[in-house]
A and B are shown apart, each in its own frame.
Chain A
């Protein structure tokens, strides 16, 4: 027995199974997230069912389970039920309904049943009855109306896009400038000017902007007026509903779709998810602002944490006299990583937002007060807080890199008459760069997944504008932002329509993972390039 243990074989098994177990956990988690998340965009077949009580429903079956025994709560009864995504939230009050299989009298898969994805109220399940142009009927009957709907939809979508562009860019721009003028006037007033050419110029400019604004509003109304098509739909149980064509995002008949048709629809929905703004309090549409916010926050954090961490590590390793004090500092730095991240959040709120941001507001933006500019959460403060949170990682990695820079390289440089600083700048720093990037990779992974400290330093459920836009100064680091991690929390636990939002939790998780992996891969590629260049033979 003893000899058997000493032979080492059992140790191989133990280590092997530990690794296998860890891999299994990761694979299971990834599998769950991938299957639940990516399946979400696949258009499922629609079933139309007639119930025993005469009701009729149309929808896709999302889940099926044994009905639990009401006494014991155990799911051992012989009867089943399924979860139907019935849509038509405006008619039924909720998107989902549980149906007892024993109540089902009839199931049918009619080809002409359609899913109409709307900008409001979620999807409508049913059939088109007629198409109206203004008040006049232009098509009647299910097939004719459907054909006309499909034919007119692209134009309506393009009008919608143009209108959105005018709203966001033109009107948004004008509002942005008007707000600037308001602040300028306020700042002049604060300085005691109540009259003068400067004020008059502002007034003139404001009037000019107002005219522009009115003109754009007219253009917008005209544009909207070009599409006056309405479609009347009827649901499976016969209720009629009129929907404006501009209110429709997508319309399709799932039972009619071929595999490739479904695939096309799938990609279009996936693309919408990553490239569009959210709708319906984040339960529909896309998450583009959250992707953007996450990536930008990680970038700002990297820009801050890298120099900061590298400088600190250089001092610790190259200049500080090694001794108990430096060791204590090193231990303290390493243990910073163990402080709960919410504590960093609180610090960020207290220090960055209130003290630093508050002072900036008093000094540079007094005209905007009492509404804060920098004195409230924003992407800059959130990034700085995360930089603080991740700086130990960079310090540790850089220090390890510094310790590994061969003495030969430093001596060669010193022997050629370089000072210590020149040696560090020209020889040590380039050599330590791959290690810095390793630290940065770890820091980015940590930062991208962190949510708690962001919640009090600038993340919001829905940000009105991105932190980068086309209005000077282009970077608006004081703005609030959206973040994938917070989005997961918000959609999963704060949503008014939890069941509809649930799959978004998975899809958003996948996206967050993709973003983290993409950021890491970039850094890894850069690092490997550098390492190859630096690969030493003689050193």
Chain B
């Protein structure tokens, strides 16, 4: 990220003011006051270590994620952001030879405790991936996939859920007349919003997003950012990004990762304007990354 000049105070302030670029400001509702200050902790990560075989990817992570807040993970490539995110809904279970210590609890439940239903965890923590990955099916079938998996087959229920989710993902107006067409005909930004709608359809508590805008153009990115903003009213959101302006624009709290360690975690304003750690400061002002 060489777009940010190393003059830290002023520049960080300018990053913050990116939220006030006209494109975003005109259409985004003001932040709901109050909720962003307090809030229960939905997810608690304690003393968490994670290994791919013998390679340690995460070291001693302690982190709490607040309900109906947007939490951003930032950090250079390969620092373990995705790994941590994928640990939250146990997507890493699919990889051979992984090992972990410590606990992650969601609503007080240890998700790695024996006997926990992985499928249930994944229903509660939906995920949106870096590369949009719609199924080669119709738009409608994409959105209701999760419901069909749950055994819902009532056409009316599915229609209703489809509409709600697409509206929630700000895609309804664009696709309402072609729900039965293939999802693969959508544009990149639309596909990503479809993936968000698909995740919303199963009514998760938390939505995990792994660099959801990294493959999108600026306009599509702005739309998704607006969307994240509005989703915050209903869902807890964890977003991985290595676009710092994005983290500054959309998140309430930010964690900065480096080589598998959580260097600093706190309110986004604080992290971007008055970081405690030298490393954080260097990173957000663009000295490396």
Contacts and interface: CB of A to CB of B under 8 A. Distances in A.
A417 B135 contact: no
Contacts, number: 79
A433 to B, nearest CB: 11
Given A411-B91, A539-B133, A416 B184 contact: no
Interface stretch (B41-49, B154-162, B191-199): B191-199
Contacts of B150: 417
B122 A538 contact: no
A427 to B, nearest CB: 6
Contacts of A539: 131, 133-134, 136
A538 B145 contact: no
B94 interface: yes
B149 A417 contact: yes
A536 to B, nearest CB: 6
Interface in B211-241: none
A426 B184 CA distance: 17
A418 interface: yes
A416 B134 contact: no
A242 B129 CA distance: 87
A416 B149 CA distance: 8
Interface string B148-176: 11100000000000000000000000000
Contacts of B145: 413, 416, 418, 426
A409 interface: yes
Contacts of B122: 414-417
Interface residues of A, number: 24
Contacts of B129: 408, 411-412, 415
B123 interface: yes
A418 B94 CA distance: 13
A538 B89 contact: no
B149 A415 contact: no
Nearest to A539: B133
Interface string A396-419: 000000000010110111111111
A412 B195 CA distance: 9
Contacts of A6: none
Given A411-B91, A417-B122, A535 B133 contact: no
A451 B173 CA distance: 62
A534 B198 CA distance: 19
Most chain-A Cβ atoms within 10 A of its Cβ — which of B122, B123, B129, B133? B133
B271 interface: no
Nearest to B187: A537
B126 interface: yes
B94 A412 contact: no
Contacts of B244: none
Contact of B136 (A413, A415, A416, A431): A431
B127 interface: yes
B13 to A, nearest CB: 37
A172 interface: no
B91 A408 contact: no
Nearest to A322: B96
Contacts of A427: 135
B149 A538 contact: no
Nearest to A531: B136
B202 interface: yes
A347 B11 CA distance: 79
A350 B91 CA distance: 50
A533 interface: yes
B199 A538 contact: no
Most chain-B Cβ atoms within 10 A of its Cβ — which of A413, A415, A422? A415
Interface in A142-158: none
Contact of B184 (A406, A412, A431, A535): A535
Interface string A441-466: 00000000000000000000000000
B182 interface: yes
A110 interface: no
Contacts of B182: 533
B146 interface: yes
A414 B136 contact: no
A68 interface: no
B132 interface: yes
B135 A412 contact: yes
B119 A419 contact: yes
Nearest to B150: A417
A533 B137 CA distance: 8
A376 to B, nearest CB: 48
Contacts of A422: 149
Contact of A533 (B89, B136, B195, B198): B136
B149 A409 contact: no
A194 B78 CA distance: 87
Contacts of B202: 416-417
Given A411-B91, A422-B149, A431-B136, A416 B199 contact: yes
A539 B184 CA distance: 9
A71 B94 CA distance: 81
B259 to A, nearest CB: 25
Given A416-B122, A416-B146, A417-B150, A534 B199 contact: no
B286 interface: no
Contact of A538 (B94, B120, B123, B134): B134
Nearest to B125: A415
A358 interface: no
Contacts of A536: 136, 184
Interface in B83-134: 89, 91, 94, 119-120, 122-123, 126-127, 129, 131-134
A533 B150 CA distance: 25
A427 B119 CA distance: 17
A417 B123 contact: yes
Interface string A426-442: 11001100000000000
A321 to B, nearest CB: 8
A535 B198 contact: no
A427 B149 CA distance: 12
Please list the 8 inter-chain residue pairs (A to B) with the smallest Cβ-Cβ separation, ordered nearest first. A408-B133, A416-B146, A417-B123, A415-B127, A412-B133, A534-B136, A538-B132, A418-B149
17 contacts: A406-B133, A409-B135, A411-B91, A411-B129, A411-B133, A412-B135, A414-B91, A414-B94, A415-B122, A416-B122, A417-B120, A426-B148, A426-B149, A430-B136, A534-B136, A538-B133, A539-B136
Given A411-B127, A412-B134, 15 more contacts: A406-B133, A411-B133, A413-B135, A413-B145, A414-B91, A416-B126, A416-B149, A417-B150, A418-B119, A418-B146, A426-B148, A431-B136, A533-B182, A535-B136, A535-B184
Interface of A: 406, 408-409, 411-419, 422, 426-427, 430-431, 533-539
